[in-house]
A = this chain, B = another copy of it.
Amino acid sequence: MPNGMSHLFIPGPTNVPDAVRRAMNTPMQDHRAPDFPELTLPLFEDLKKILANETGRVFLYPSSGTGAWEAAITNTLDRGDRVLMSRFGQFSDLWVDMATRLGLDVVCVDVEWGKGVPVAQYEQHLADDPSIKAVFATHNETATGVASDIAAVRRAMDAQDSDALLFVDGVSSIASVDFRQEGWGVDLAVTGSQKGLMLPAGLSILGVSEKALEASTRTGMERCYFDFADMLKTNDAGYFPYTPPVPLLHGLRVALDLLFAEGLPEVFARHHRLAEGVRRGIAALGLELCAAGPEWYSDTVSAVWVPEDVDGAEVCRIGFDRYRTSFGAGLSRVAGKVFRIGHLGDLNEVTCLAALASAELSLADAGAKVELGAGVAAAQTYYREALAERESRSRLPRADESK
């Protein structure tokens, strides 16, 4: 392997901050020791702050985010329950697939890739079919870089007096963009450790509303590993029903401390600023986003259409081989047609400029007619303005004062 640092711009797993890596590198300890709850109990509380979940619970599973999808379903729904879903990308598609395989009666709205949750159609379905027990929404579709309006989904449900449970996949949004479990009436909020929480994969996080907790006590499929009840029995004392991934818990402690030290509003503002710079850069290169319009823009990942005569997979391959840069490939039906720049987690302006510079090179080498430097310049211009505005307007501490 040639020398030189690697550059990771996939939409997860994201770069793990050094402080988090250090925290994970501890000698092993007894997860049943009397001092273990000193570590775990504050984690549960602090994750509720991340989710803006005041009255519910948070469960931590040793699993990928997919596990929390399954936990949400199997604890609160029965086989045959009718649920409303939509798909418009690889990950919303996979959730539909899971729901189907687990035996739900899925009403699935297919949406053009590039758009997100179809709120109006959801409302119509809810109006037409009062048997819908749950509504599923993917907050941020990682495959297409599309964000959806969860508050609007809730409003549509309320408008139809639906008492369905609201399931939200926030895997690539939570901890990076504004998320309000309580405010938006989200009953089951799914995320994972390897995105905005800046940890390796291995821990899934499930925010559960009181309503969903209550539902789990009287319904749900056969389950054991992901059972809420086993968690409830042990979590209150700070323990787990089975051996937890201790290093990830230590890393989570530090990741949360970093996020709170920066301040969640500032974290969200930073993600928006970085994303907007990347979008300006992409536009300056004459390229278009997969997201069909600004109302769908994701602040955590940008999926970029490559020119017609260019192979998106080749862009990724060149980035990886020649420029030591990992971009996200196009998945499923946009394979080869897009490449993706993840801009979430432990990143700043200069890191994103490196992403654009590397993308320009990779595109050019793959045959795209892009003006080298043009994307970087557009992003730089935006970042200068945005940082100046931020400093003047909000009197927020500057980077140098906020330590």
Chain A positions within 8 Å of B, measured between CB atoms, are 1-8, 10, 12-18, 21-35, 61-67, 69-70, 79, 97-98, 101-103, 192, 194, 198, 200-202, 221-227, 241-248, 258-259, 261-262, 266-267, 270, 317, 320-326, 329, 345-351, 353-354, 357-358, 360-361, 364-365, 371-374, 376-378, 380-381, 383-384, 387, 398-400, 402-403
Please determine whether A3 and B346 come into contact, CB atoms closer than 8 angstroms: yes
CA distance A65 to B14 in the complex (A): 26
Please determine whether B353 and A324 come into contact, CB atoms closer than 8 angstroms: no
Using Cβ atoms and an 8 Å threshold, which residues of chain B touch A61?
A: 63
CA distance A198 to B27 in the complex (A): 11
Task: Using CB atoms, name the residue of chain B closest to A346.
Answer: B3
Please determine whether B27 and A8 come into contact, CB atoms closer than 8 angstroms: yes
Please determine whether B4 and A348 come into contact, CB atoms closer than 8 angstroms: yes
Q: Given known contacts A28-B13, A242-B64, A321-B399, is B351 in contact with A364 (CB within 8 Å)? A: no
Task: Using CB atoms, name the residue of chain B closest to A70.
Answer: B225
CA distance A131 to B245 in the complex (A): 39
CA distance A33 to B62 in the complex (A): 24
Task: Using CB atoms, name the residue of chain B closest to A347.
Answer: B4
Using Cβ atoms and an 8 Å threshold, which residues of chain B touch A31?
A: 13, 201
Using Cβ atoms and an 8 Å threshold, which residues of chain B touch A380?
A: 357, 360-361, 372-373
Please determine whether B222 and A67 come into contact, CB atoms closer than 8 angstroms: no
A200 partner, pick from B246, B267, B354, B399, beta carbons under 8 A: B246
Q: How far is the CB of A162 from chain B (nearest CB, A)?
A: 26
Q: Given known contacts A322-B399, A350-B7, A376-B373, is B33 in contact with A102 (CB within 8 Å)? A: no
A21 partner, pick from B25, B63, B66, beta carbons under 8 A: B25
A24 partner, pick from B25, B258, B377, B399, beta carbons under 8 A: B25
Using Cβ atoms and an 8 Å threshold, which residues of chain B touch A7?
A: 350-351
Task: Using CB atoms, name the residue of chain B closest to A66.
Answer: B242
Using Cβ atoms and an 8 Å threshold, which residues of chain B touch A372?
A: 376-377, 380-381, 384
Residue among A7, A8, A242, A323 having the largest count of chain B Cβ atoms under 10 Å:
A242
Please determine whether A2 and B262 come into contact, CB atoms closer than 8 angstroms: yes
A30 partner, pick from B3, B28, B326, beta carbons under 8 A: B326
A373 partner, pick from B3, B358, B373, beta carbons under 8 A: B373
Please determine whether A245 and B3 come into contact, CB atoms closer than 8 angstroms: no
Given contacts A5-B351, A66-B224, 4 further A-B contacts (CB under 8 A): A33-B326, A200-B246, A201-B245, A372-B377
CA distance A189 to B354 in the complex (A): 37
Using Cβ atoms and an 8 Å threshold, which residues of chain B touch A243?
A: 12-13, 64-65, 192, 194, 201
Q: How far is the CB of A174 from chain B (nearest CB, A)?
A: 15
CA distance A306 to B266 in the complex (A): 33
Q: How far is the CB of A220 from chain B (nearest CB, A)?
A: 11
Q: Given known contacts A62-B64, A354-B353, A384-B361, is B15 in contact with A27 (CB within 8 Å)? A: yes
Q: How far is the CB of A211 from chain B (nearest CB, A)?
A: 24
Q: How far is the CB of A307 from chain B (nearest CB, A)?
A: 18
Q: Which 5 A-B pairs have the closest CB atoms?
A: A373-B377, A4-B348, A321-B400, A202-B245, A354-B354
CA distance A283 to B383 in the complex (A): 23
CA distance A22 to B22 in the complex (A): 6
Please determine whether B25 and A8 come into contact, CB atoms closer than 8 angstroms: no
Please determine whether A3 and B267 come into contact, CB atoms closer than 8 angstroms: yes
CA distance A16 to B27 in the complex (A): 7
